[in-house]
Amino acid sequence: MERPEENDMNTRHPELWDEPDHIRKEMARTMDHIYSHGMTTTSGGNMSVIDSLGNIWITPSGTDKGSLRPDEIVCVAPDGTFEGALKPSVEYPLHHAVYNARPDIRAVIHAHPPMLTSFSIVHRIPDTSVIREWQEICGTAGYAGYATPGTGEMGENVAAQFIEGHNVVIMENHAAVAGGKDLAEALARLETLEYCARTLHAAAVIGEIRIPDNDMNDNPELTGGSQLPHSGSGKYPCETESVMTPEEERLSDEICRIAERACSRGLMYGFCGDLSARRSGDSFLITRDGIVRYDIKKRDIIRGGAGTDDIAIAGSPGTGPASWLHGEIYRRFRSVNAVITARPPYLMAFAVTGKEIDVRTIPESWLLLQEMPSLPPDALQPGREDVFASLTGGIPAVMIRNDLVTVTGDSLLQAFDRLEVAEMTAMSLVLSQSLGKVQPIAEEQINALRKSLVK
């Protein structure tokens, strides 16, 4: 395999690879996220970054992963030497083998997310093809046969899977390892595969898992959030840099807060999920593509929609295809001021089985959602009206099978509340399967709730 410098590929992120302080800080911050989100234990897991000189910066052996400090990161030189009292992780041979096998990989994370670990001990691989976005982020997962941790054999087994083109690998009776061009991409792949695994586990409880038609997956016109047209089509342009207004500052702060909250609640993860808020008229602010959702900052919020004059705030253009869907909703529904698209695991369990979600479980679920239509996988193809027809009449949320959930509100908080309630409702329906038959609220009780709405 060619090295990047030999074929003019630039796979390095300059800020990450060339600044030791930045590397240390980002590694400690990423490990804190992994630990606090239950994807590894105090003594488990490790991660590394390789810089442009071939130094491998790696987490130390025998330290508390729940309180890792930047100054604890160990730098291992290309000749294998290192300085300081702390030793590199015993899994250093694994990281070294992956970097040798794939020069385009610049960051590696090995962790023990509980559902991926479950897959590893039953010798299965999560099927990412159930949701197109997951497949685009992760590709297909590899599978490395068992070897003793910390040995060259284990490194060779994992590296062999990376050589085959896999970017995430299940390690037999161990856990998982993910690689990327930087820590953000490696983390997004690890998180996405874990949430894919959680979805598949929940889906197996309620029905048969359905894989989208190959024709749909292979169609280059069906992009990103599966069937959404690209925002770059011209209808809802991304803008180039300009200064935020005070109102945009306020909305951007709120988007960042809700994004962080959504990640803490397991509603967003990796690169999955988009939030937007109406700015004025048909224009809106929306999260940029390709940013790990727990780390959304104001610089990652850009403008879209009519009246933006092709001009985007805060830096890099690049909203994903979700901009088209959000923009159409704002254009058609003047009462909507916020839109969230997401792929939470329990809702996606219904999405990949085609099962309907009965929101008549508790009063709060019905009052906030009333119903949640389940639309076909091709509902977001150009020219289709399924989503917009379903949202007509006050229905605030819809599900597109094998794709995503779209939730609307008159504010970001209301849209978030509805998403949270929808996911909790889906979770309750899945968990209830082992307890007995679901007993929904009776029609006369629903009628009483309807009357309460008009008071």
Domain boundary among 154, 173, 206: 206
Query: So what's the pLDDT on residue 91?
Result: 96
Residues 110, 41 share a domain: yes
Residues 290, 172 share a domain: no
Residues 255, 236 share a domain: yes
Looking at the domain assignment, is residue 188 inside a domain?
yes
Distances from the Cα of 269 to the Cα of 77, 326, 342, 431, 436, angstroms: 33, 19, 9, 22, 32
User: Between helices 183-206 and 412-431, what is the axis angle to 10°?
Assistant: 50
Q: Report yes or no: 440 and 365 within 8 Å, Cβ to Cβ.
A: no
CATH number at residue 159: 3.40.225.10
In the chain, the percentage of residues whose pLDDT exceeds 90 is: 77
User: Tokens for 365?
Assistant: 């679920």
- Give the lowest-confidence range in 59-68, 177-186, 304-313: 304-313
Residue 14 confidence (pLDDT) above 70: no
Q: Which domain holds residue 19?
A: 4-206
Q: Total domain count for the chain?
A: 2
Looking at the domain assignment, is residue 212 inside a domain?
no
Looking at the domain assignment, is residue 92 inside a domain?
yes
Looking at the domain assignment, is residue 34 inside a domain?
yes
Distance between alpha carbon 294 and the CA centroid of its chain, in Å?
9
Residues 311, 233 share a domain: yes
Distances from the Cα of 174 to the Cα of 27, 147, 337, angstroms: 22, 9, 46
Looking at the domain assignment, is residue 103 inside a domain?
yes
Query: So what's the pLDDT on residue 89?
Result: 96
Looking at the domain assignment, is residue 211 inside a domain?
no
Residue 226 confidence (pLDDT) above 80: no
β-bridge pairing 74-76 and 107-111: unpaired
Mean pLDDT of 128-141: 96
Q: What is the SS3 assignment for 251?
A: helix
Q: Report yes or no: 56 and 73 within 8 Å, Cβ to Cβ.
A: no
Residue 227 confidence (pLDDT) above 60: no
Residue 29 confidence (pLDDT) above 80: yes
Query: So what's the pLDDT on residue 393?
Result: 80
Which pLDDT band holds residue 39 (cuts at 50, 70, 90)? Answer: very high
Residue 229 confidence (pLDDT) above 60: no
Domain boundary among 206, 240, 255: 206
Residue 431 confidence (pLDDT) above 60: yes
Q: Which long-range contacts (CB under 8 A, 24 or more apart) does 353-359 make?
A: 353/203, 353/206, 353/207, 353/208, 353/209, 353/210, 354/207, 354/210, 354/401, 355/206, 355/207, 357/399, 357/422, 357/425, 357/426, 357/429, 358/429, 358/438, 358/440, 359/422, 359/425
Mean pLDDT of 352-370: 93
Residue 274 confidence (pLDDT) above 90: yes
Residues 166, 44 share a domain: yes
- By the 10 Å C-beta count (0-12 exposed, 13-18 middle, 19+ buried), 7 is classed as exposed
Q: Report yes or no: 278 and 295 within 8 Å, Cβ to Cβ.
A: no
Residues 254, 116 share a domain: no
Residues 425, 394 share a domain: yes
Domain boundary among 185, 206, 227: 206
Residues 125, 225 share a domain: no
Q: Report yes or no: 305 and 327 within 8 Å, Cβ to Cβ.
A: yes
* Distance in angstroms (rounded) separating the CA atoms of residues 376 and 361: 24
Residues 308, 254 share a domain: yes
Residue 189 confidence (pLDDT) above 50: yes
- Residue 414 or residue 12, greater confidence: 414
Residues 91, 16 share a domain: yes
Q: Mean pLDDT score of the chain, rounded to an integer?
A: 88
Q: What is the pTM of this model?
A: 0.89
Residues 301, 169 share a domain: no
Looking at the domain assignment, is residue 147 inside a domain?
yes
Query: So what's the pLDDT on residue 150?
Result: 93
Residues 221, 184 share a domain: no
Mean pLDDT of 334-348: 97
Q: Which helix (H) or strand (E) holds 50?
A: strand 46-50
- Give the lowest-confidence range in 110-119, 319-328, 422-431: 319-328
Query: So what's the pLDDT on residue 455?
Result: 60
- Give the lowest-confidence range in 91-105, 132-146, 436-450: 436-450
Q: How far apart are the first and last CA of the chain?
A: 69
Looking at the domain assignment, is residue 151 inside a domain?
yes
Buried b (16+ CB within 10 A) or exposed e, 296-316: bebebbbbbbeebeeebbbee
For 190-211, the pLDDT digits (tens) are 999 999 999 999 999 999 999 9
Residue 5 confidence (pLDDT) above 70: no
